[in-house]
Amino acid sequence: MTDKADRSVSLSENRLIHSLEKLVTELDLERHDFVIFGSGPLLAHGLRDNIRDLDVVARGAAWRCVSRLGVPALGSINGAPMALFYDGSIQFSRGWVSDDWTADDLIERAEIIEGLPFARLADVLAYKQMLRRPKDLPDIEALLGVLGKPD
């Protein structure tokens, strides 16, 4: 895992993080109304060097704004409404994969890294273990290495 200084540099220079920050500013989105989930928290913690998209869970005014201005889509896992920006590289949804994760719970538990709210690594691990797609397996291993393997 990289140290905090290295992570700060790579996170602030990441193209997707930069695009999200620009979008948050342009749309005047409240940072307490969304959380970055999926692989974004792995990037923020230095467990991934790159990601192909950013998954963002939004509520309230933030969701109403992005759902009005983004390209409408449906989630591939649960069919939930989504709003896409930057050719789908930033994807907003109202919830996450299943009712086990509500937007409010995820947002309230978020940790702030460089001014952006990220889902807790334990939530990311639970999500990736639930899906267990081939692409999730290296992430599960990395997360277990940081969070500790269950007894």
Question: Whole-structure pTM over 0.85, yes or no?
Answer: yes
C-alpha distance from residue 47 to each of 23, 83, 99, 145 (Å):
25, 27, 27, 10
Tens-digit pLDDT profile for residues 55-93: 999 999 999 999 999 999 987 776 688 999 999 999 999
Sheet containing 111-113: which strands, arranged edge to edge?
Answer: 71-74, 81-85, 90-93, 54-58, 34-37, 116-118, 111-113
Q: Are strands 90-93 and 54-58 parallel, antiparallel or unpaired?
A: parallel
Tens-digit pLDDT profile for residues 99-121: 667 889 999 999 999 999 999 99
Domains of the chain, CATH where assigned: 4-138 (3.30.460)
Do residues 127 and 96 make contact, with C-beta atoms less than 8 angstroms apart? yes
